[in-house]
Amino acid sequence: MSPSPHVRVQINLSRIRSNVQAVGKLTGVPVIAVVKADAYGLGAGPVSAAIADLVAGYYVFDLREAIQAKLANTGRRTIVLRGESSNPADYTPLGAQPAVWNADAATALKFASPILSVDTGQQRFGVSLEDRQAIDAILKVGAVREAFTHATRVDQASALSAALRERVPVLHAAGTALLGEPAARLDAVRPGLALYQGAVKVVTRLVEVVDSGRPAGYSGFIVPRHGVILAGYSNGLGAGPCRINGRAGRILEVGMQSAFVECAPGDRVGDEVELLGDAVTVEEVVAAWRSSPQEALLRMTAMGERRYTQA
């Protein structure tokens, strides 16, 4: 998959800032911004810089992401899930704190302010909450001041709190799905998706418009008037909704590097086709692609050249 030179991906940094502020207001606790996977495709560098004054820190999957996004320059700390290094010197200069889930890692990374990752159901990247012996061994190292779990249900957050409230000063569990649940908020929230909602607009233009009425394309679809855009499977596009001249439209058929869209009588070559934005929501795209919001965002943001706006 590669970006199309004919597609523009507009990222609204002000919207991301207001999303962070809304999460802070709703939850009343510090926000740790999840900027893994290049901030879900929006660009971890520009995104993290734009919200540095509003967040308590960042969360990424690996060290490479923290380095590439220059998170050290934000002045905030970064939680790294899988650092793949047991050398504290690989973390501390970056303001990075490794997640740990065994006593060996906690010991090796004692001077990198390690954070305990607790498994409450995902069954990966964490010590099982039921394995009290292993948790005791990690805490005995004496370096852990913070613990988190990747919760999808309130009871997972509550279980973390019940087990560690008296032993670890800072606990967090909630991503986007649990922001509305007071019992899951604990001492911080860790949203990804919620920060990016409504911040991406993906547009292209009609390069051909044809009055047809006869079978067209591979599938032989028939519409009175169709247009062609220069985005296709190779750019990550799927059939689904779009918006042309303020009117709801459809992507009728997708090819490798182009796609057919349904057009109205007034639509002309050069007119803008919105693939995602105010009028075409991520939810609509998810329904059409039978995808998840995360995957839809990643594909949409990879479809063309990214540009950043403040307004």
Ligand X SMILES: *Cc1c(COP(=O)(O)O)cnc(C)c1O
- Contact call for residue 304 and ligand X (CB under 6 A): no
What span, in angstroms and rounded, lies between the C-alpha atoms of 309 and 297? 18
Contact 5, 305 (CB under 8 A): yes
Which among 15-23, 70-78, 102-110, 175-183 is the span making contact with ligand X, rule CB under 6 A? 175-183
What span, in angstroms and rounded, lies between the C-alpha atoms of 304 and 181? 36
Strand segments, DSSP code E, in 92-207 are 96-100, 115-119, 127-128, 146-151, 170-174, 200-205
CA-CA-CA-CA dihedral for 28, 30, 32, 33, to nearest 10:
60
Nearest distance from residue 59's CB to ligand X, in Å?
6
- Contact call for residue 299 and ligand X (CB under 6 A): no
Nearer residue to ligand X within complex by CB, 33 or 228: 33
> What backbone phi and psi angles, to 5 degrees, belong to 179?
-60, -30
Nearer residue to ligand X within complex by CB, 146 or 274: 146
Nearest distance from residue 80's CB to ligand X, in Å?
11
Q: Of 231, 232, 267, which Cα lies nearest the Cα of 249?
A: 267
- Contact call for residue 192 and ligand X (CB under 6 A): yes
Which among 89-97, 107-115, 173-181, 240-248 is the span making contact with ligand X, rule CB under 6 A? 173-181
- Contact call for residue 150 and ligand X (CB under 6 A): yes
- Contact call for residue 193 and ligand X (CB under 6 A): yes
Handedness of CA 67, 69, 75, 81 (dihedral sign): negative
Which among 62-70, 155-163, 172-180, 238-246 is the span making contact with ligand X, rule CB under 6 A? 172-180
Alpha-carbon separation of residue 3 from 138, 219, 274, 281, 299 (angstroms)? 45, 25, 16, 20, 10
Instruction: Please pick, from the candidates 41, 83, 175, 241, the single residue that binds ligand X as defined by CB under 6 A.
Output: 175
Contact 74, 51 (CB under 8 A): no
Instruction: Please pick, from the candidates 98, 191, 249, 304, the single residue that binds ligand X as defined by CB under 6 A.
Output: 191
Nearer residue to ligand X within complex by CB, 62 or 272: 62
What span, in angstroms and rounded, lies between the C-alpha atoms of 55 and 245? 38
- Contact call for residue 115 and ligand X (CB under 6 A): no
Nearest distance from residue 146's CB to ligand X, in Å?
13
- Contact call for residue 190 and ligand X (CB under 6 A): yes
Q: Reduced to 3 states, what is the DSSP secondary structure of residue 251? A: strand
Nearer residue to ligand X within complex by CB, 38 or 267: 38
Nearest distance from residue 23's CB to ligand X, in Å?
10
Instruction: Please pick, from the candidates 13, 23, 34, 302, the single residue that binds ligand X as defined by CB under 6 A.
Output: 34
- Contact call for residue 126 and ligand X (CB under 6 A): no
What span, in angstroms and rounded, lies between the C-alpha atoms of 139 and 152? 25
What span, in angstroms and rounded, lies between the C-alpha atoms of 100 and 118? 9
Nearest distance from residue 190's CB to ligand X, in Å?
4
Count of residues binding ligand X (CB under 6 A)? 11
Nearer residue to ligand X within complex by CB, 140 or 145: 145
- For residue 301, the tally of other CB atoms under 10 A from its CB is 24
- Contact call for residue 51 and ligand X (CB under 6 A): no
180: DSSP letter? T
Residues in contact with ligand X by the rule CB under 6 A: 34, 36, 150, 175-177, 190-194
